Structure 1
């Protein structure tokens, strides 16, 4: 018996020793035991840009909804013939990757991430939550990342919570609090991050303006009076600049192997009507040289009707958007100026709404390489472009829709909020002549977080593309 026990102990010790040896062999000597803040920041910026500028949330959905782009084949998304598996990328990656990694930075001890890393992380997390609530409505916010089945917060709660989060982010950001590396957007320039924070606060103030005007006014005042300032030039635009494959712009990668999108006829017709100098930037001439002009694709057509427009006789989106290094613009100088124009028009802040409006259009033209003063002046002086103080929503909404070209998620939100330009559903669309007002919740929410999902639907309305969200319910 003693001899048998000795063999057992010896075998156990040998197995333990073998296991320790295998553990040592399988360790990556180049890997860190804990994630580093700079790597998490870099990854978040890249993945966030891909999410915002890629196919699932942008050119294969929201850019179609706002009729910036159109499908010339595989037209189901352009006809709104989609399901609750169609819009999972924003939700899944937003929560499981972006918010998770940003929360990791926020939980780091100060020795591992100074307050500037945490201020940036809180800013990016706020931006991610903002995209989510703008798209879906009620979402997990306060319990996100805290519980396996988090409760949903109302859209009002999310917007007001984000205003507080951004106020905290502003207090964390200070150039004296240490340097930041891994920042591929602002290269560690904390003063630019402070401007972005205030610009996002102003964006949210206008999101809630039709529902909570008193709170919106105060938020606009807070954002515009903060010492950190606002985005004040195109050089301060918040964007991710891509390089070459495999770190290339996702639209560029798509067009390398596929040919199923065109610039929308709605956009081309509008730009022609305004003699808009951005048209050659937004569109390419058809490959059939005999056409000789820009021709957009109609939205909401059947596959056969879309095909019959002619692949060689219609215009692809401009090469400005389809090169490997094309930037993913996320918060532009032009948008900030449009937001100042609206805030002034609403009486929230002092200032000349018309001048802000002109400056916003000028900033957009400059952003797309149009800098000739005479060209800009001629454009602004047109009766169809001049600011209409009696209908600021039409003036700002139309020009903002143009300026947001390529930024589907935010173009979709602002079009719903301002109701301009007036868009018409295509002939083969499946929503009884209506355009989408939101995205479906992912189908997995019904099975994995059913109680919270059902509570959200009961509060917000049916989980349909046509259900209006809180900010949009006039």
Structure 2
């Protein structure tokens, strides 16, 4: 929540809150990019347990989070604060959206060409839209139109901010994407310290179209006509065409900005994260070659841990950091310091195209063809040849009679280690169907995250009204687009 207490933390960037030091906007954008990637890709159970929402990961020692306890560790609060505004737990580090707000303000007075300034503002807007969409997909209604109004050094903002309707926000985000896309001029670059694309504005245009495409497909069940219009327009304007277009990091730097999964699983010394039996059993049933890229064998077999159980670690496969898989192929090292970290990628977009085609949208292919292309993209992403992918697809063909099951299961597998992306597919397509663990702390597998507990202290009237509007502040209350 953006309040006096949260907003005041942003003044740590300034020596004098009443006369704020001008910070180069590019530094704030890079900071926001780092924070966004770190938060959405981390497996730290204090901040992001989306991999447990999709039952791809399990725990063997400390199992509270895989049983959906989000209270002992205030996970909803921590995710909200990292995405929205700085929190006292993150000293001298603004949240993603507050950093971008400040970057946009500082950009206006920077001495650069009008084209470069326009490109930079487009970058700020597109990262902001991505972050806002994540918050809506996570919580539902959130403070949006009245949020983040305070500028650096200005503490005269309202202490309570109303919540806005989630679908209204989504439609506004699509408008913002179109405006940002129109601002891009590919004759000049954007920020030179842009961590994702190095200021390549042709890449940013594809990102804008691909992000719009994701939001459009997400709207399919609640606004089918609009979804079709938006998706087809985004496709026509140009989506990701290969992994070189991916939004995120092709490789994490080392040190403090190493791959967060490496930091959480290897560097921290934790060894209780394992693949779940829900995922591994399914992959065993399809003889999925990606098992050898992601997991080690126990007794010559891939065996997942019982989801929500604290059974012995020694009995189960675990995530691998070594090369394995098909002989002669380079393995993908999942938890090395420099592993890739993508927030929107060619594989996801191709699965979304398959889904869009199955819904009757004109997006450049049949559902079966795009289904095969999406699986191939995932296989290639993890070091396999198209020939290996083709053999797998022949054994696991697209089922037109139950396309949601076909696409849902394969997208869920392909989004392994991309928790939020996998969660969106599973909620929208209703496959796989997850079973609530016996010792779960909630009534069913979460389809949303509860509001931050701080909201009930700092923004009580508004969050209470929002909770009532959406049908209750529960993990079982569906996001507006999840209607089936």
Instruction: Report the TM-score range of the alignment, normalised by the length of the smaller protein.
Output: 0.7 to 0.9
SS of the equivalent of 1:239 reads strand
Paired position in structure 1 for 2:390: 377
Cα 1:339/1:121, change in 2 over 3 Å? same
Cα 1:110/1:340, change in 2 over 3 Å? farther
| Offset of residue 419 of structure 1 | 0.4
Cα pair 2:39 2:48 within 8 Å, conserved? no
| Offset of residue 342 of structure 1 | 1.3
Matching of residues 55-454 of structure 1 within 5 Å:
55-56=43-44, 61-83=49-71, 85-96=74-85, 97-107=95-105, 108-109=107-108, 111-112=110-111, 114-146=117-149, 147-226=158-237, 229-240=238-249, 241-255=251-265, 256=267, 257-286=269-298, 291-301=299-309, 306=310, 308=311, 310-319=312-321, 320-350=333-363, 351-371=365-385, 373-382=386-395, 385-432=396-443, 434-454=444-464
Cα pair 1:268 1:295 within 8 Å, conserved? yes
Cα pair 2:47 2:75 within 8 Å, conserved? no
Cα distance in 1 for residues equivalent to 2:44 and 2:143:
21
**Bigger mean CA offset, 55-64 vs 65-74:** 55-64
Cα distance in 2 for residues equivalent to 1:324 and 1:179:
28
| Offset of residue 109 of structure 1 | 1.4
Cα pair 2:276 2:306 within 8 Å, conserved? yes
Cα pair 2:408 2:431 within 8 Å, conserved? yes
**Bigger mean CA offset, 40-49 vs 349-358:** 349-358
For residues 37-91 of structure 1, give each alpha carbon's deviation from its aligned partner in whole angstroms, at most 9, with x where no partner exists. 2211211111110010113579952101211100111101111133282222221
Cα 1:219/1:169, change in 2 over 3 Å? same
What are structure 2's unaligned runs of at least 5 residues? 1-13, 86-94, 150-157, 322-332
| Offset of residue 177 of structure 1 | 4.6
Cα distance in 2 for residues equivalent to 1:100 and 1:444:
17
CA RMSD of aligned residues (A): 2.0
Bigger Rg, structure 1 or 2: 1
| Offset of residue 346 of structure 1 | 0.9
Cα 1:234/1:91, change in 2 over 3 Å? same
For residues 180-213 of structure 1, give each alpha carbon's deviation from its aligned partner in whole angstroms, at most 9, with x where no partner exists. 2111111111101110111111100111110111
What are structure 1's unaligned runs of at least 5 residues? 1-25
| Offset of residue 374 of structure 1 | 2.9
Cα distance in 2 for residues equivalent to 1:278 and 1:185:
26
**Bigger mean CA offset, 260-269 vs 148-157:** 148-157
Cα pair 2:26 2:103 within 8 Å, conserved? no
What TM-score, normalized by structure 1, do the two folds share?
Answer: 0.87
SS of the equivalent of 2:477 reads coil
Cα pair 2:455 2:463 within 8 Å, conserved? yes
Cα distance in 1 for residues equivalent to 2:48 and 2:108:
41
For residues 81-116 of structure 1, give each alpha carbon's deviation from its aligned partner in whole angstroms, at most 9, with x where no partner exists. 332822222210111121111112223316457111
| Offset of residue 292 of structure 1 | 2.1
For residues 284-315 of structure 1, give each alpha carbon's deviation from its aligned partner in whole angstroms, at most 9, with x where no partner exists. 234xxxx22222111122xxxx1x3x322212
Cα distance in 1 for residues equivalent to 2:235 and 2:54:
29
Cα 1:460/1:220, change in 2 over 3 Å? same
Cα distance in 2 for residues equivalent to 1:27 and 1:266:
52
Cα pair 1:51 1:89 within 8 Å, conserved? no
Aligned pairs, number: 430
What TM-score, normalized by structure 2, do the two folds share?
Answer: 0.85
Cα 1:233/1:294, change in 2 over 3 Å? same
**Bigger mean CA offset, 346-355 vs 134-143:** 346-355
Higher helix proportion: 1
